[in-house]
Amino acid sequence: MAQTPNVIGITVMQRLKETGEPATPENYERYYYEISGLPRPEKAVVADPVDVAEPAAVPAVEQHAPPGAAFCAEMLGMLRQMLQEVTDKTATLAKDIGEKNKDLSGNVTNLKSSRDKNEILRLLSTVVMQAGGIQNTVEASHKDLLETRHVLTSMQEELAETRQLLNEDALTGALNRRGLDQTLMREIARAQRLSSKLSLAMVDLDFFKKVNDQHGHEAGDQLLVHFASLIKSVLRKSDALVRYGGEEFTLILPETDGRGAHFVLARLQQLMSKSPLIFEGLEINTTFSAGIATLRDDENGHALLRRADEALYVAKNGGRNAIKIAS
């Protein structure tokens, strides 16, 4: 008989607890297909990004679908199922104790009114057994409910951690495209509600493909981590950094106009010129190009991203190592 997804999910969580592995989407997926016996779909091979000046098509913010959404959905389903089980167990326990308590009360009443020695001894033995049975039922149920509560708490914590992981780029620690979707929509709504400025910058490392070709992909990865770290050092807590794809990053700058965004990126330029990546004893110097757009009154996230991307295209076509503000 085939197992239901919820049964498989609970089995997966038990396996992860037994092995001590974190409940990441990758580990969950691996055990899910191993336990269910279902064929694992092949993952598409993604080619290396090519350093070109053509502006990429910007997908609508609202349409981005994260690969780990199914994991969160199944975790939520499991939580709901376990909560229902707790509710059912509590109702059954109350009914069971109620019936046993009714029988116990009847025997206690009979015991008080009885004058026969043998009958008193029999009733007394029955009362003791019934009281002990109720106590055992309560203790067993209490232990069971405590264990269930512990599992629920662990699952809630793992779900929160997983949601955070699903919003972050594993390499750089910046937000990923899903994180961009959520953050940009939230900040646009806030800016429109408060009538405040909101700027967005698309930033692209210049000639990144050459770094990969000359020094290898490990150097390229370290350069991305280094670049993200430098960007974070010039941002405020209220700002957000997103790895948009490949060597391209997005900066979300609340309460900042175009001039203020340009100032932030100019500081980043100065910092980069003084902070090359040191890879295997070699200095790797690089620059970036950037396009800035400030939110208009009637603009959505897709349009804002499009204008920033177009400004980035102008910066790269103009010789790179440049910052351009969209009109």
Q: What six digits make up the tokens of 84?
A: 């229902």
CA-nearest of 186, 283, 288, 197 to 234 is 288
Q: What six digits make up the tokens of 240?
A: 């957000």
DSSP characters for 305-317? HHHHHHHHHHHHH
Asked about 310 being catalytic, the answer comes back as no
Catalytic: which of 158, 247, 248, 310?
247
180 and 186 Cβ atoms separated by less than 8 Å: no
Give the angle 241-246-249 at the CA atoms, nearest 5°.
Answer: 20
Give the angle 73-74-79 at the CA atoms, nearest 5°.
Answer: 100
277 and 283 Cβ atoms separated by less than 8 Å: yes
Q: What span, in angstroms and rounded, lies between the C-alpha atoms of 260 and 286?
A: 23
Instruction: Give the Cβ contact number of residue 316 at 10 Å.
Output: 23
Rounded to 10 degrees, what is the CA torsion of 230, 233, 234, 240? 90
Query: In which element (H, E) is residue 201 found?
Result: strand 198-205
201 and 265 Cβ atoms separated by less than 8 Å: yes
What distance lies between CA 324 and its chain's CA centroid? 33
Mind telling me the catalytic residues?
247
